[in-house]
């Protein structure tokens, strides 16, 4: 079991859904209509789902990829070190989008259409439809401007795009790297995973650390060691954590606590 790096989450993306609603004329399914609300909704969802929001690194992700490049094989190191190189950035982004969805999500505000609702009988044309997009915002994203971009992208007066209500997780300053807690994480990593490296990272998911950071608490996200393959199973029907990885995580957690407590 070789650990490439130990990630310590110092910040995370902000979850807030976007709703896409469509309007059309209702009627009998035997007489198709040009303003079918379901057709319009599907077109809007497809347009947004196929769109790649622009890449924007922040201090955390820039440091993550720069340091990751120093411990990666040459081909991968080239990708991570040249993300902001205009000559090859587009090529690298396309490659990551196809081959590493986790890193791709770290580069930008991400959109995943996850829920669609419309119609109630097979023979009735519905008057409306609704899709819910799981949007994970970069902490400094201009939410209003982003939604306006989606509206321009769809460009259909029959489609309404709105923000869901704001949740309890709000943008907060990243946890710092110049304190005893981060030093303890690095020390524990050197003991439990020698030859590895500790990297500050931005989680693409959401945790309770968001509420803690909002109140000034220095919170750090760590977890069991998983393979790149296993990260693809999160929330899937084959989600799993290796027993060995869990055992190593407990050793790492214990070493971190003992170090920061001065024991």
CA distance 197 to 5: 5
End-to-end CA distance of the chain: 28
Sequence-distant (6+) residues with CB within 8 A of 128 are 21, 22, 23, 24, 37, 118
| 200-259 residue pLDDT tens | 999 999 999 999 999 999 999 998 877 666 666 666 777 777 788 888 899 999 999 999
Domains and CATH numbers, the chain: 6-13+171-260 (3.40.630.10), 17-53+109-163 (3.30.70.360), 59-106 (no CATH)
The model's pTM is 0.90
> CA 33, CA 210: separation in Å to the nearest integer?
47
Whole-angstrom distance, CA of residue 255 vs CA of residue 262: 11
Question: pLDDT 10s per residue in the chain (263 long)?
Answer: 577 899 999 999 999 999 999 999 999 999 999 999 999 999 999 999 999 999 999 999 999 999 999 999 999 999 999 999 999 999 999 999 999 999 999 999 999 999 999 999 999 999 999 999 999 999 999 999 999 999 999 999 999 999 998 776 788 999 999 999 999 999 999 999 998 999 999 999 999 999 999 999 999 999 887 766 666 666 677 777 778 888 889 999 999 999 999 85
CB-hemisphere CA count at 13 Å for 53?
A: 26
CB 201 within 8 A of CB 8: yes
Q: What is the pLDDT of residue 227?
A: 64
Q: Which of 174, 173, 197, 195 is nearest to 185 (CA)?
A: 197
Q: What are phi and psi of 102, to 5 degrees?
A: -70, -50
């Amino acid at each position: 079991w070789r650990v490439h790096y130990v990630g310590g989450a110092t910040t995370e993306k902000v979850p807030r859904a976007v709703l896409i609603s469509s309007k059309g004329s209702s009627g009998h399914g035997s007489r198709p209509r040009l303003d079918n609300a379901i057709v319009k909704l599907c077109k809007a969802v497809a347009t947004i789902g196929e769109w790649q929001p622009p890449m924007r690194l922040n201090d955390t992700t820039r440091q993550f990829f720069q340091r990751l490049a120093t411990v990666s094989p040459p081909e991968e190191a080239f990708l991570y070190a040249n993300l902001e190189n205009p000559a090859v950035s587009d090529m690298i982004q396309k490659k990551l989008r196809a081959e590493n969805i986790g890193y791709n999500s770290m580069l930008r505000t991400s959109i995943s259409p996850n829920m669609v609702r419309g119609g109630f009988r097979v023979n009735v044309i519905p008057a409306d439809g609704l899709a819910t997009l799981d949007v994970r915002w970069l902490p400094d994203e201009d939410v209003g401007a982003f939604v306006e971009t989606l509206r321009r992208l769809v460009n259909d007066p029959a489609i309404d795009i709105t923000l869901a209500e704001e949740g309890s997780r709000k943008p907060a300053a990243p946890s710092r790297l110049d304190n005893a807690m981060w030093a303890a994480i690095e020390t524990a990593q050197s003991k439990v995973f020698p030859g590895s490296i500790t990297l500050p990272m931005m989680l693409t998911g959401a945790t309770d650390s968001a509420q803690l950071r909002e109140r000034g608490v220095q919170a750090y996200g760590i977890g069991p060691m998983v393979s790149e393959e296993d990260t693809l199973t999160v929330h899937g029907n084959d989600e799993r954590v290796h027993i060995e990885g869990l055992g190593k995580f407990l050793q790492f957690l214990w070493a971190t606590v003992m170090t920061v407590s001065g024991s």
